[in-house]
Amino acid sequence: MSSTQEQQGKTSTTGLSIILPTFNEVESIAAVIQSLLALDDHFDLEILVVDDDSSDGTAETVRSLARLDQRIRIIRRLGRSGLASAIREGLIDAIHHRAVVMDSDGQHEPASVLDAVRSLDARQLDLVAGSRFLDQSEIRGLSHRRTDGSTLANQLARRSLPARYGHLTDYMSGFMAINLSRCLPLIRQVDVNGFKFLYELLAISRGQLTVAEIPLIFQPRLHGSSKLDSAILWDFLVSLLHTASLRLLPRRAISFGLVGASGVLVQLAITALLMTLLGLDFQRALPIAVIAAASSNYLINNALTFRDRRQRGARLLRGLLKFLLVASLPALANVGLATSFYTLVNAHAIWAQLAGIVVVYIWNYAASSRFVWNSP
């Protein structure tokens, strides 16, 4: 077949960038790339792998393939990580005006790429998402527990997004085809600490995008296991609250506040235990409870709110000492105000402590962000 005939067999606008975020997918990535290269009959392809500095040889495997095929590119990221940020970086770096984002573990079929782009073009849409929950969809690679969790997450997401997107069935999808010429300004605004890139993009678009879905045949992973963990579930809760606040509050501030709420419970519980079981009076029990709650807040924030800057080993202990130092002045204010409230206003331990806790939140968030985790 001549090159002219080959071009006639492709779609009218032939360029397509396929974005593959990776982290430790060495066992799957070569097979996924090879299956996508077969789409060359339909598109002028760019396959762009965005790797979060994998330690298992993923980047080296992709680089070897790229030396043999100029359609393959790799971005290896140092000092930054996360699925949403990898997707955003890949889309911004894509050379074509249309792009497909898909998983690099083999759970998304290459045939879905063709279906999604045809729908994107034929209907002149801004975005086409792959759904695991349409009537024609099949889920072969998700446990019943994960399926039920995704169903609940989608129900919550639907209630938090503009009504224009109410017809969608899978806001948590990792598969999407995007018209970059129209969506790129919004893509640049996506919060890279968000739970799912598609959800974040829909949230910031405020109903501006024309969006449809295609059914997915969701396959089992080729190798390895899911990277879903408690931190990702935490991100989803923060994303819902971030959207509910009209995105006026910073995500980290919301996360910090949720952790602080858990610290309130820790402080109240320890104060009650010390007063009830050990017979300490309120003035002696409160300082111990405040320090315990602050330490709890530090460890949870380190694991969740600032996990991209997580302290480990000796740095974890130094970070705790810095956090307690940063929190010492507001902690003294907490103790002083709570004691005064208890003595002068109302001898009620819970209300007295809440009065002190409210005073210190903003200081702790701003100061610890900067001096403990070095985050602006």
Q: What are the extents of the domains in the chain?
A: 3-227, 251-371
Q: What is the distance between the alpha carbons of residues 44 and 36, in angstroms, rounded to a whole number?
A: 12
**Per-residue pLDDT at 71 exceeds 90:** yes
Backbone CA torsion sign across 292, 297, 298, 304: positive
Of the pLDDT bands very low, low, confident and very high (cuts 50, 70, 90), residue 35 is very high
Contact (CB, 8 A) for 221 and 106: yes
Q: For residues 262, 268, 273 and 279, what is the CA-based torsion angle, rounded to 10 degrees?
A: 160
Q: What is the distance between the alpha carbons of residues 293 and 361, in angstroms, rounded to a whole number?
A: 13
Task: HSE, CB side, 13 Å, CA atoms: give it for residue 121.
Answer: 18
Contact (CB, 8 A) for 132 and 103: no
Of the pLDDT bands very low, low, confident and very high (cuts 50, 70, 90), residue 9 is very low
Q: What is the distance between the alpha carbons of residues 289 and 357, in angstroms, rounded to a whole number?
A: 12
* Domain 3-227 top-level CATH class: alpha beta
Of the pLDDT bands very low, low, confident and very high (cuts 50, 70, 90), residue 224 is low
Give the global pTM.
0.74
Residue listed under structure tokens 């762009």? 48
**Per-residue pLDDT at 338 exceeds 70:** no
If we measure between CA atoms, which residue out of 209, 116, 193 comes closest to residue 161? 209
pLDDT given for residue 7 in this prediction = 44
Looking only at the bridges linking them, the beta strands covering 98-101 and 176-179 are antiparallel
- In order of 40, 43, 365, the CA distances from 7 in angstroms are 10, 9, 57
For the chain, first and last CA: distance in Å?
57
Contact (CB, 8 A) for 84 and 193: yes
Question: pLDDT tens across 158-199, in order?
Answer: 999 999 999 999 998 999 999 999 999 999 999 877 668 999
Question: pLDDT tens across 286-309, in order?
Answer: 889 989 998 999 999 998 888 878
Q: For residues 288, 289, 292 and 298, what is the CA-based torsion angle, rounded to 10 degrees?
A: -130
Q: Report residue 224: phi and psi, to 5°.
A: 80, -170
SS3 190: coil
Q: What is the distance between the alpha carbons of residues 150 and 367, in angstroms, rounded to a whole number?
A: 36
Summary mean pLDDT of the chain: 85
**Per-residue pLDDT at 347 exceeds 60:** no
Residue 344 makes CB contacts below 8 A (sequence gap 6+) with: none
pLDDT given for residue 300 in this prediction = 93
Q: Which two tokens stand for residue 164?
A: 């224009």
Strand ranges in 263-341 using DSSP code E only, listed in sequence order: none
Q: What is the distance between the alpha carbons of residues 172 and 174, in angstroms, rounded to a whole number?
A: 7
Residue 248 amino acid letter = L
**Per-residue pLDDT at 348 exceeds 80:** no
Rg of the chain on CA atoms, in Å: 25
With 0-12 / 13-18 / 19 or more C-beta atoms within 10 angstroms meaning exposed / middle / buried, residue 22 is buried
List, in sequence order, every residue forming a beta bridge with 18; answer none if it has no partner: 47, 100
Q: Which two tokens stand for residue 43?
A: 């598109």
